[in-house]
Structure formats: C-alpha cells, structure tokens
C-alpha cells in the first residue's frame, strides 16, 4: 500500500537532485517520454500484437472475410464509443447510449413502411431529442451526468416497453438502406458501414482538434469554473456535446440493426460498458480534458479483436469474461503508467 504520509520530506540536497534529474529528462527525452507524448503508437502496437496473436489461433483473420467481420463488429462499438468520448472529454459520461440506440433502431424499423427518409429522420430525431434532454439537465440544471443518463436509460426502457403495446406497435422491418449499409461490402474486405464510421472519425478528429466547439469541449472538461469566468457559455457546450452523443448513439443503433437485421428492447445493451472501456483504453481521461477520438478508434478495434481471441480460445463463457475484465484493467493500467495520467493520490 502506498502510504503517502509516511514518506519523509525531501532534504534540500535531494530536491536539487530531483530538479536536476527532471531538467535532464526534459532536455533529452527518453523513449518513455516520447511514447507518453504519442500514446496512439503504444495502442497501435498493442492492437498489432493482439491481432497477430488472434490470427495465430484463427487464420481467417488474414482473409478478406476475417478482416471484414472484425470491422463490421468494431463499427457500432466505435460509434458508441465516439459518443462516450465526447461526453468524457467534458468530464461526463453517457450511460443512455445503448437504450437510445435501441429506441432509435426500433423507431426506424417501425416507420420503414412510410418511407425510408422519414424512418431515418425519425430515428435520428429520437437520438437528438434524448441528447437534448440529457444536455439540458447536465448543462442547465447541473444534474450529475452519471445519474442523469442512468435515469434516462431507465426512462427510455419504460417508454419503449410500454410503447411496444401502443405507439410503437405494428410491423417492424429494418429499412433497406440500413440493412445495406450494415451488411453489404463496399469492395474487398471493407464493409459499407466503414463509410459511416470513417465520416464520423474525420469529423470528430478534425473537429475536436480545430473547431471552436472542439477546443471548448477540452477547456470545459479541464476546468469548468475557469471556462465560465473566461466567458464560455458552459451550458451551451454541454448541451451540444450531449445532443451529438445522442445523435451518434442513434447512428450506432441503426448500424447495429443493419448488421444483425433485428431490433429489440435491449439488443445493444452489451455494448454499453465496452463503449466506456474502449474510450478509456483509447486514452481519454474519465476526469475530462484530455484524450481524443483517434485513441478511441484503436480502443474499439482492440476490444473487438480481444473478444474474437477469447471466443476462439476453447474456454467457457465464464473464463472469457474473467479474462476480458482483467485485460481491460491491465490495458488501462498500462496506459496510466506510460502517460503518467495518474489520479493524484493526495497532496498532489
């Protein structure tokens, strides 16, 4: 146990030594510092190693079909994780992504009879509406995001289960365009949903880096009070973030239902916790203010391949889950060690 209090205060000589050591390190960055500055390299390395290990157990990963299936499965996870990344950059979290996705996909399938455009618009509208309520509560009424989105998930579950016997009743057919995007291939090993994912990636990576809202998201996540004092309308930034998160959740839900060809009350719930895990493994701090989407992409890919590896290993479901948790923990720990993103333990 690291007991902070027991450490003796450093003497003057020791302090000078420490300062000198730090100065030396700053002047001549070692490999660790260099890696810490570009954590995506570490993640890419982890991904490649994991991919090779998996391919050693499962040769299909070197075929077109194998690559395609990994991308197909990673895509909804990466889109959910995109919503999670945005929220976590502001120091929040969105635990309603899965239920938003379920409801949006269901609405789309329910409305597909009256035109695809209308179905899609309504599905995305569900996402925006949910995000708007979340954002209003978090930004204006200062409800804790964890509680707000948790409550929202509960509300959506209730709305959806009762809706199935009322306004959501009737035939459900996954719209053709959703099915095509979710299951057909573009060319070679690339599935069509990669186009959606790529578009989202470009917008998020560039937008977070160079748009006004993007910079503001980092600022709000880093220090909300300073932002408010500097004249940033924090509530508007938070509202925007949660609306975007709701929209992304709806898109993720559509992609998933396109791939599986199904809709259901809880079909994407298994993606909720992995979406948080992918974001964290990708290096976005849950405390806000640091990280980005490029890491999250790798996080989603790593988790997908890990899942595949665990499925391939001839073990029980129980053992797979145990390993999954341990690997997620180990990756998060490794990341913190490498980048020094450690949570201050006290006095710091």
Partner 1 sequence: MTAVVQTTMPTPTSRLSRFVQRQGWTVGVAVLLAVLLFWRISQLPKFEGFEVRTITAGTMSLAFLAMAQSVVVISGGIDLSVGPMMVFANCLAVSWMGDRGLGTCLLIALLVLVIVVALATLTGLIITVSGVPDIIVTLATGFTLAGLALFVLESPRSGVTPDFQRVIAGSLSNPWPSVLWIAGALVLVWAPLRRSRLGLAIFAVGSKRNAAFLSGVRIARTRVLAYAVGGLFTGLAGLTVTAVTLGGEPRETIGTNATLNSVAAAVLGGVALTGGVGGLLGPVLAALCLTLIPAIMLGLGWDPSNADTARGVIIILVVAVAGLVQTRRRVS
Binding positions for partner 1, rule: CB under 8 A: 1-5, 93, 137, 141-144, 146-148, 150-159, 161-162, 165, 269, 273, 276-277, 280, 285-287, 316-326, 328-329, 332-333, 336-337, 341-348
| Residue among 26 and 318 whose Cβ is closer to partner 1 | 318
CA distance 113 to 135: 32
Residue 99 beta carbon to partner 1: minimum distance, rounded to whole angstroms: 10
Residue 208 beta carbon to partner 1: minimum distance, rounded to whole angstroms: 21
Residue 133 beta carbon to partner 1: minimum distance, rounded to whole angstroms: 9
Residue 306 beta carbon to partner 1: minimum distance, rounded to whole angstroms: 11
| Residue among 9 and 212 whose Cβ is closer to partner 1 | 9
Instruction: Report the residue count for the chain.
Output: 348
In terms of DSSP H, where are the helices of the chain?
12-27, 31-37, 39-57, 64-89, 97-111, 116-139, 145-163, 176-183, 193-210, 212-222, 224-229, 234-260, 272-281, 293-312, 317-339
Residue 287 beta carbon to partner 1: minimum distance, rounded to whole angstroms: 7
Could you give the angle at the alpha carbon of 300 between the alpha carbons of 190 and 47, nearest 5°? 85
| Residue among 13 and 318 whose Cβ is closer to partner 1 | 318
| Residue among 226 and 273 whose Cβ is closer to partner 1 | 273
| Residue among 2 and 11 whose Cβ is closer to partner 1 | 2
CA distance 92 to 238: 9
Per-position b or e across 131-168, b if 16+ CB within 10 A of its CB = bebbbbbbbeeebebeebbeebbeebbeebeebeeeeb
């Amino acid at each position: 146990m690291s007991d902070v209090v027991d450490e003796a205060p450093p003497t003057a000589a020791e302090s000078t030594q420490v300062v000198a050591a730090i100065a030396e390190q700053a002047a001549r960055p070692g490999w660790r510092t260099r890696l810490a500055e570009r954590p995506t390299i570490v993640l890419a390395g982890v991904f490649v190693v994991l991919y090779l290990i998996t391919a050693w157990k499962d040769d299909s990963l070197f075929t077109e079909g194998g690559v395609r299936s990994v991308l197909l499965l990673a895509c909804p996870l990466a889109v959910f994780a995109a919503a999670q990344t945005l929220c976590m950059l502001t120091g929040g979290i969105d635990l309603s992504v899965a239920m938003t996705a379920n409801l949006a996909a269901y609405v789309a399938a329910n409305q597909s009879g009256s035109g695809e455009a209308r179905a899609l618009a309504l599905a995305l509208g569900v996402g925006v509406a949910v995000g708007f309520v979340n954002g209003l509560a978090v930004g204006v009424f200062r409800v804790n995001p964890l509680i707000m989105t948790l409550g929202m998930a509960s509300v959506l579950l209730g709305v959806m289960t009762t809706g199935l016997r009322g306004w959501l009743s009737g035939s459900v057919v996954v719209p053709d365009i959703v099915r095509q995007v979710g299951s057909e291939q573009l060319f070679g090993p690339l599935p069509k949903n990669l186009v959606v994912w790529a578009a989202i990636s470009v917008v998020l990576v560039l937008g977070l880096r160079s748009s006004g809202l993007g910079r503001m998201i980092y600022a709000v996540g880093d220090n909300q009070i300073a932002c408010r004092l500097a004249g940033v309308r924090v509530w508007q930034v938070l509202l925007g973030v949660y609306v975007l998160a709701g929209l992304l959740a709806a898109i993720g839900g559509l992609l998933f239902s396109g791939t599986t060809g199904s809709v259901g009350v809880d079909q994407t719930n298994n993606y909720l916790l992995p979406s948080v895990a992918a974001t964290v493994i990708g290096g976005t701090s849950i405390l806000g203010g640091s990280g980005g989407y490029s890491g999250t992409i790798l996080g989603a890919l790593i988790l997908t391949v890990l899942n595949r590896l665990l499925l391939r290993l001839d073990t029980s479901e129980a053992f797979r889950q145990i390993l999954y948790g341990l690997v997620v923990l180990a990756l998060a720990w490794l990341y913190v060690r490498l980048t020094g993103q450690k949570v201050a333990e006290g006095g710091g």
